Amino acid sequence: MNKKSMMNISQQLINHGVHPYGSAEVLKFEKQLARYFGREYERWQGNKNLTESYGLNSFEGDISKSETRPESLSHYNEEYHVYRAFLDKDYLAYTMGCFGVDSYGPELKDISLEQAQMKKYELLVERADIQDGQSIIDLGCGFGGLSKYLLETYPNIKVTGINPSEVQTGYIRKELMSPDNNFDHLRFRLIQAYFDDVDSLGIELESFDRVISIGFLEHVSNIDLLQKKLSRLLKPGGLCMHHCIVSVDVLPAFLNSEDTLMGAYYPGAHIWPLSEPPRHNTHLTFKNSWFVNGMNYWKTLDEWHKRFWESIDQIYPEYLTTDEVDNWNKYFSLCKAMFIPNDGKSYGNGHFLYQK
Ligand SMILES: C[S@@+](CC[C@H](N)C(=O)[O-])C[C@H]1O[C@@H](n2cnc3c(N)ncnc32)[C@H](O)[C@@H]1O
């Protein structure tokens, strides 16, 4: 589409009160949201109370809340073309990329979103000591980004991806399991299911060297039960690494997404404080944790937001209505505003390493 018709599309949206990435209206909205989140982080600074004191118990109930599972999945079953418009081209990763901000390695200036997603995989490989020849579970595998990276990088690695989303697994079957790939697709197995149903999925016990989950723990309510089920799948000595969004302090109103604006996008989800996953030290032994500065996610989201608008003609009006564009636009702004206060030091990602 040429520049003129693209401008027409943007103008149509503006006429409906939907303003593009970088516009004065969007920047003002993001600033207001960031001020709100900044005040919340300040208010709860140093709060280390147990989550139980706010009515949330990560040792009880279903692995993920059964009543919100279908609703929560609908976000991942959004039209594939929408995700393709804004995610990185290599991995379609729908989680933070590593831009090298703070806390690990030198700052990586001017790297692309594609490179930042690869850096995330490299960091996880290093921290979870992934080696060629291992058997790995990619838990909550999205469009299969980590699986693809591992299969392409290591000629003898085997990966099992687990994901209930029809749209995402449909993409994986078509693209990742195609014989055209430059890795042996027989080294990859896809299980389309909720991990909650693991006992009936026929997965071999004590047969995996590593379990890696990226952006999955946010969907988990009972971390204890999750770890118990994962421990049965790991070989003795095997490692499990969870990468998820965390707050540094306990933010009571963020523990359940229903209490926040995020509930509209992620019903049943949780933002765990950095201190919560290490409390789970029974079924798997907690080894180490790291905080990854939130500006890495801010940069990732900002790039997604920008790419969304650069490809608006490919998704609107064919795949998204005006209201849906408005929702996505607000979603990017909202998420960015959560990571930016205090230069990403209050809200970011956690890496949690466990051993059987
Ligand atoms: C934020 S996305 C991250 C996807 C991928 N790991 C990535 O980095 O791009 C969360 C993923 O977890 C999956 N998921 C959500 N609940 C799940 C459950 N109960 N069992 C297994 N996967 C689940 C979703 O379908 C989605 O693919």
Predicted local distance difference test score (pLDDT) of residue 265: 76
Stretch 183-195: mean pLDDT: 91
pLDDT tens digit string along 116-133? 999 999 999 999 999 999
Distance 183 CA to ligand 1 centre (A): 23
Predicted local distance difference test score (pLDDT) of residue 80: 87
Nearest Cα to Cα of residue 139 among 3, 265, 240: 240
DSSP 8-state class, residue 272: E
pLDDT tens digit string along 275-302? 999 999 999 999 999 999 999 999 999 9
Which residue's alpha carbon is at the smallest distance from atom 26 of ligand 1? 142
Stretch 93-104: mean pLDDT: 83
Distance 67 CA to ligand 1 centre (A): 17
Identify the band that residue 102 occupies on the pLDDT scale cut at 50, 70 and 90. low
Q: Percent of the chain beyond pLDDT 70?
A: 96
Nearby residues of 265 by Cβ (< 8 Å), 6 or more positions away: 75, 331
Is the model's pLDDT at 71 over the cut of 90?
no
Predicted local distance difference test score (pLDDT) of residue 108: 60
Phi, psi of 243 (to 5 degrees): -115, 120
Is the model's pLDDT at 90 over the cut of 80?
yes
Stretch 247-267: mean pLDDT: 83
Mean pLDDT for the chain overall: 92
Phi, psi of 194 (to 5 degrees): -75, 140
Count how many residues are written for the chain: 356
Q: Are 192 and 169 contacting, i.e. CB atoms less than 8 angstroms apart?
A: yes
CA dihedral 33, 34, 40, 43 (to 10 degrees): -140
- CA triple 185-74-124, angle to 5 deg: 45
Distance 163 CA to ligand 1 centre (A): 6
Q: Give the C-alpha separation, 118 to 108, whole Å.
A: 12
Q: Which of 113, 167, 219 to mutate to test the pocket of ligand 1 (most atoms within 8 A of CB)?
A: 219
Predicted local distance difference test score (pLDDT) of residue 152: 94
Is the model's pLDDT at 105 over the cut of 80?
no
Is the model's pLDDT at 251 over the cut of 70?
yes
Predicted local distance difference test score (pLDDT) of residue 57: 95
Stretch 189-195: mean pLDDT: 96
Is the model's pLDDT at 266 over the cut of 80?
no
- Structural domains in the chain, CATH included, are 22-355 (3.40.50.150)
Is the model's pLDDT at 5 over the cut of 80?
no
Minimum-distance ligand 1 atom for the alpha carbon of 95: 8
Is the model's pLDDT at 213 over the cut of 60?
yes
- CA triple 31-293-326, angle to 5 deg: 40
> What's the burial of 113, exposed, middle or buried (CB within 10 Å: 0-12/13-18/19+)?
buried
Whole-prediction pTM: 0.95
Distance 10 CA to ligand 1 centre (A): 32
Predicted local distance difference test score (pLDDT) of residue 167: 94
Kindly list the protein residues whose Cβ atom lies closer than 6 A to any atom of ligand 1: 64, 73, 76, 93-95, 140-142, 145, 162-165, 168, 194-196, 214-216, 219
Stretch 22-41: mean pLDDT: 97
Identify the band that residue 224 occupies on the pLDDT scale cut at 50, 70 and 90. very high
For residue 122 the two structure tokens come to 């490299």
Stretch 306-327: mean pLDDT: 95
